[in-house]
Amino acid sequence: VVNIMWFRRDLRLTDNAALYHALKNNTPVLPVFIFDSNILDQLANRSDRRVVFIHEALQAMQSKLSALGSSLEVCHGTPEESFRKLFEKYAVGKIFTNHDYEPYATERDGAIEKMAVQYGADFHTYKDQVIFEKDEVVKDDGKPYTVFTPYAKKWRARLQPFYLKAYPVEKYYDRFYRRDLVAVPALEEIGFKPAKEDFPPSDVPDAILENYTQRRDFPSIAHGTSHIGVHLRFGTVSIRQLASRAVKLNATYLNELIWREFYQMILWHFPKVGKGHAFKAAYDNIKWRNNENEFRRWCEGSTGYPIVDAGMRELNTTGFMHNRVRMITASFLTKHLLIDWRWGEAYFAEKLLDYDLAANNGGWQWAAGSGCDAAPYFRVFNPALQTQKFDKDLRYIRKWVPEFEELTYPQPMVVHEEARKRALETYAKALK
Ligand code: FAD
């Protein structure tokens, strides 16, 4: 008999809740990862950075596991197909895995749990990717918060050292199932192409956290923010470890980690937001213009607004965009161009290395005004003022749009004041 540890967005062998509980049992633990064809088949780009990132993370895990005399079992297919094969190949006692709060994931896990029962196996899941999940930080009457500030206050009040403690997984490393090494399939074998990528490091230097409050809003500062999003997304760092450092080094940074949990909590309680619905239903009455040519210009970074174009080009080139510029570009799409926030959400979902359904949806609905605790709709970002405040010496713009002062650079595709007025009228009509 073996127990299975099913890795998903927790690709690490240290401080991992489900892995700790799996190894504490006395049964050998078979580590499993599934390249889920339901997800992979939807990716437009065959050299998708996220797939390359996962592949690298698996190889790093694999070399550690091989030193322990074990090996990952890597499957490729739907989770159901993959588990059916695993049940046929092994006598599985228990499956251990960590919670995932996305609608697809909860359905997937429900189906696998059902299948496990049929095969006589138990399914155990644990909180791992957040400090507080779902119902742990709720209002006094037990209802979920929909406003960030009181949520964050309660979150901080609940925090005890206990919640930040690492799971001492290493103590039980001798309990992995012993087997010969099986190579992680090459990217080509799962239908992707290798790509040379410089991923951000998983260890954030103290200095970034210490200077975060003063530096985080300026996109031209290379290390003003931590670039840790992708590692949180795929679990190549532990949130407990990162939050512990934030508690010691910087309250503003901790606050950002709380935003992350806030949006995950919202997605769990209001799964409709992840299925194309506005959090505030009235915003689904907005008559979007949805001009495809204008959308294309926004995507490629040729709107004639240098700060917007810089952001989109940074995204297209690197898979990253600075948070301040995410807000500016999202506001521009939804307000200046009156293009449905779902189009922008989908574009970011395709391009962002740190793409996360909860945070991306939260960010887009915030910008469009339709989200919980969003900016009021009549606050329309002015790209010129944003530039003055956050890229005064134009360093960020010069980096990504070097031709912005030349004749070849396009005229602004809309006039700010006119577009602002049009947005306000359109929103007011929908919300009256
Ligand atoms: P840092 O500033 O160093 O913050 C550290 C971590 O805190 C981030 O990695 C992230 O996990 C979390 N965090 C910070 N700000 C937020 C926030 N506003 N909401 C939720 N979590 C936050 N973040 C994503 O992780 N994935 C997304 O797909 C995503 N899409 C976004 C779309 C829009 C329109 C907007 C406005 C914001 C989006 N964000 C998203 C939030 C934020 O922009 C990124 O988390 C941040 O820029 C990532 O860079 P960093 O790791 O250097 O962040």
**Distance (Å, rounded) from C-alpha 250 to C-alpha 252?**
6
Confidence band (pLDDT; 50, 70, 90) for 351? very high
pLDDT of 348: 98
pLDDT of 53: 98
Q: Per-residue pLDDT tens for 147-165?
A: 999 999 999 999 999 999 9
- What mean pLDDT is predicted for residues 40-68? 97
Domain boundary assignment for the chain = 1-128, 132-165+205-269, 274-431
Q: Which of 183, 320, 235 is nearest to 57 (CA)?
A: 235
What is the CA(322)–ligand 1 centre distance, in A? 8
Confidence band (pLDDT; 50, 70, 90) for 29? very high
More confident residue, 377 or 361: 361
419 touches ligand 1 (CB under 6 Å): no
**Distance (Å, rounded) from C-alpha 295 to C-alpha 297?**
5
Q: Kindly tell me if the per-residue pLDDT of 375 is higher than 90.
A: no
- Ramachandran category for residue 301: left, alpha or beta (phi over 0 → left; psi -120 to 50 → alpha): left
Question: Domain 1-128: what homologous superfamily?
Answer: HUPs (3.40.50.620)
pLDDT of 112: 98
Mean pLDDT is lowest, of 69-78, 189-198, 382-391, for 189-198
Q: Per-residue pLDDT tens for 102-136?
A: 999 999 999 999 999 999 999 999 999 999 999 99
Burial 316-339 (b: 16+ CB within 10 A, else e): eebbbbbebbbbbbbbbbbbbbbb
Q: Kindly tell me if the per-residue pLDDT of 373 is higher than 90.
A: no
Q: Which two tokens stand for residue 333?
A: 């799409």
225 touches ligand 1 (CB under 6 Å): yes
226 touches ligand 1 (CB under 6 Å): yes
311 touches ligand 1 (CB under 6 Å): no
The share of the chain scoring above pLDDT 70, in percent, equals 100
Q: Per-residue pLDDT tens for 69-100?
A: 999 999 999 999 999 999 999 999 999 999 99
pLDDT of 374: 83
pLDDT of 84: 98
pLDDT of 376: 87
Which CATH architecture group holds 132-165+205-269? Alpha Horseshoe (1.25)
Are the C-beta atoms of residues 116 and 123 closer than 8 Å to each other? yes
What is the CA(361)–ligand 1 centre distance, in A? 11
Torsion over CA: 265, 270, 272, 277 (sign) = negative
Q: What does pLDDT average to over the chain? A: 97
CA triple 165-167-171, angle to 5 deg: 135
Question: Domain 274-431: what homologous superfamily?
Answer: DNA Cyclobutane Dipyrimidine Photolyase, subunit A, domain 3 (1.10.579.10)
- Does residue 136 carry a catalytic annotation? no
What is the CA(354)–ligand 1 centre distance, in A? 8
Q: pTM of the full predicted structure?
A: 0.98
